[in-house]
Chain A
Amino acid sequence: MYSILVNLLPVLVERSAAGPPHPARPELAVLWRAHQLSATSNAVTASGFAALDVELPGGGWPHRVLTELLLPHPGLGELRLLVPALVRIAGASSSRQDGGRSVMLFDPPAALCGPALVQLGVDARQLLAVHGREGVRATAGLRRWLPSADLLWAIEQALKSGHVGAVLAWLPQRLRADALRRLQLAAQSHDGPAFLFREVDARLKPSAAPLRLLLQGAGIDRLSVRLLKRRGPPLAQPLLLALPPILSERLRARSRDESVAAAVEPRLETSAIDG
């Protein structure tokens, strides 16, 4: 018995990453232990960030399930987080062929800028924006409290049809649990990732989505991602991800210096913006 314990010891101290548990003990492959991430049988789309892919079960954004992204306000960098996955799904903007699958956005908080997408490399031809019958919201500050029945119906139809490559939906705070469960059921016939963007307060409410991430700003071009819920052990520390940069390194350094100094009147820069 002592020898068995000694044999098990090196297996117990392995890292909590996905993968075969121990090459010399193949029978442990069918046993799931609590420190491992679950091995999903669904396909995944790699998120493009290595630090995030390691922590996601399956190694990327899961297909056929909902993924919830909670953020305090739009404009943190949440779309730049998804851009590498969208490039894989929709196709690159530089390619001439129509090779990608469509991406549908439901009720985005503002208009998505086409030239910015082209710069980031997403094929803008594959994008479709769906709005309810009330029309596009006028200002970014206006928030609707209740989701319209039309919007939920439209998301469910898109998920059930199975012909959409990726679904991005912005839902307001008061979403009933059974509406979310219904969307999760509909997502099972959707071969692609489905992202739901919600308010930060929703993290206190239970949700049927198997993957929940809390996004917070952590400086310029950096995003702090906390995995609230995933199929596997919870992650204590938030991940710091470097997003596709808007500002150059020099300007980022200058902003760190200036944030310490007192407020002065804005100096007009004569140099052009660097890539």
Chain B
Amino acid sequence: MLWIAVHLPQLSLESFAATLDPTWQGRPLALIEAHRIAQVDARAAALGVQPGAKRATALALASDLVLGEADAARDASALQAVGHAALAFTPMVCHEATDGAGTPAPVVLLEVQASLRCFGGLRPLLQQLGQALRPLGHRCRVASAPTALGAALLARWRDDLAHGAHSTDLTALRRLLDDAPVWLLGPGREHWEALQGMGLKQLSDLRHLPRAGLARRFGVGLLADLDRARGDAPDPREPIVPPPKFEQRIELFSRADNAEQLLAGARVLIARLLAWARARHARVSAFTLRMHHEARRGDAAGHSELTIGLAEPSADAVHLQSLLGERLVRTPLVAPVLELSLRCDALVQSSPPSGELFATRSSEREGLTRLIERLQARLGADGVRRLVLLADHRPERAMAWRSAEAGLRAPIQPATPASIAPTRPLWLLPEPQPLHEQAARPWLDGGPLQLLAGPERIESGWWDGALTARDYFIARANDGALVWIFRARLPLAPASDGSGWFLQGRFA
């Protein structure tokens, strides 16, 4: 058995930073719990803010300090997202939020012995794990050991042990743990003063003492933890199971008024959504973003929803973010947004498309589908259209430009034998343009049109009320351009003046 422990020392601060406006990036952060500072980040610590100080002291030391409330639920959802990201590597993942004595020290444990061969060894697996965790934006310390608790202790210990904190067998682990301080164990932290008073600083000191005496003075918990860490006692764990539906919310620190702030908040949610989708070995095909607005005077707080559907299921964060960004820019916000929640239950379980070095037909089609999706997200579904040929003699109804459905291929067109088909112009005006007549000739653009070929009589459409009876001619305009005009045998409108000559198209 080989366990990897991922320790996230700044999980609370990072999950709080995800709710902030992106323009507040460089400011020092601190979390308050019970009116005292609970956690500080590196910038605030450099300015002198310590855990345990009061709010006024902290603000006096760092004037642009951002203070947030410690929220266990927010940290728990962030930890769950990291657990889901780890589920892509092994089904046996569990996490601990505290170290057994109530101090928050979140650790995610993965049992990877069975996955080593698939990922090509421990080092490549650690690299891929780091890459999978990077979009979630957490700093992690990684350690590995044959026992779960041993790996957790090594990961919680010190930063400079990151390189040497990988032990592959029990003797190496025991040697490392001998030098570990006693306060790493949960019960050790509770009784730290007593242990220190007795001169017991390291785990090796604990080992040399009689077990019955230790158990009587400090409780069985201390010995049980020590045994489990050293591998002398079994340590069964329950794996976490990803939920069937994804539903997560983040409460924004300040009200979001525009699309950029909303998109910054939604970025974290999308990263967690993709971690969950990868844990279920599937890809996302649709998700819904719900924005909770602030209550205005007189109205109750409402919410608005934005559903993004994908033509081809995708697990690409950049693509989902760009689609969401385009939709957000187009959607008007009724009120400032206080909270964002993301919901998804539409997953597609299929093998992902293989990445290729050179463009092939299928990768080009996929790339075209994504391009059409992006264009339609910004221009609307009608912005991108495909040509559909219809069987009708009336020229304006012989074809239709319908909005392209990005995932579907264009329908097979009916084959028109070119030899007996009549000549048609390439540019077709949707509405025929009336031409005025002078000296018994139609005029266009200040010059008479010379009729060259015709008439081609098209009389059709009695069944749907748009009866057209027209004689079509090919005519030559001043500069030699050919146009397609017709003379209506039935008047188009009862009050239309004059000639009855209309321009239908140009031969381009």
Question: Which A residues are closer than 8 A to B by beta carbons?
Answer: 72-80, 93-94, 98, 101-102, 108-121, 124-133, 135-136, 138-141, 150, 153-154, 157-158, 161-164, 216-222, 246-247, 251, 254-255, 258-259, 263-269, 272-275
Q: Contact check, B508 vs A124: say whether CB atoms are below 8 A apart.
A: no
Cβ A76 vs Cβ B423 within 8 A: no
- Quick one: which of B468-501 are within 8 Å of A by CB? 473-474, 476, 479-483
Q: In the bound complex, do residue A110 and residue B430 qualify as a contact, i.e. CB atoms below 8 Å apart?
A: yes
A247 touches B474 (CB 8 A): yes
| Max count, chain A CB within 10 A of own CB: residue among B379, B398, B439 | B379
Within 8 A of A (CB), among B421-456: 421-431, 433, 439-441, 445, 448, 450-456
Task: State the 10 A-B residue pairs at the shortest beta-carbon distance, nearest first.
Answer: A75-B506, A163-B367, A114-B399, A217-B480, A79-B508, A217-B479, A116-B424, A125-B410, A265-B440, A110-B427
Question: Considering only CB atoms, which chain B residue lies closest to A138 in the complex?
Answer: B431
- Interchain nearest-CB distance for A75 vs B (Å): 3
Give the docked Cα–Cα distance between A255 and B412 (Å): 39
A258 to B452, CA, bound (A): 9
B153 CB → nearest A CB, Å = 50
Give the nearest-CB partner of B414 in chain A.
A118
Q: Is the C-beta of B459 less than 8 angstroms from some C-beta in chain A? A: no
Judge whether B409 is part of the interface by a CB distance below 8 angstroms.
Answer: yes
**Of B383, B409, B481, the contact of A98 (CB 8 Å cutoff):** B409
Give the residue of A114, A127, A218, A246 whose beta carbon is less than 8 angstroms from that of B507. Answer: A246
Does B372 touch A at the CB level, under 8 Å?
yes
Q: B364 contacts A101, CB within 8 Å?
A: yes
- A-side contacts of B415, CB under 8 Å: 94
Which residue on chain A has the smallest CB distance to residue B506?
A: A75
With A131-B379, A246-B507 as contacts: A158 and B440 at CB distance below 8 Å: no
Does chain A have a CB within 8 A of B389? yes
On whether the beta carbons of B433 and A220 are closer than 8 Å, the reply is no
Residue of A nearest to B366 (CB): A163
A80 and B508 form a contact (CB under 8 A): yes
Separation of A79 and B476 alpha carbons in the complex (Å) = 18
Question: Would you list which residues of chain B between 264 and 308 have a CB under 8 Å from chain A?
Answer: none
By beta carbon, the residue of chain B nearest A108 is B427
Are the C-beta atoms of A220 and B480 separated by less than 8 Å?
Answer: yes
Residues of A close to B382: CB separation below 8 A: 131, 135
Q: Per a CB cutoff under 8 Å, which of A129, A138, A141 touches B401?
A: A129
Q: Contacts A114-B398, A247-B474; is A263 near B439 (CB within 8 Å)?
A: yes
Neighbouring B residues of A269 by C-beta, 8 Å: 451, 453-455
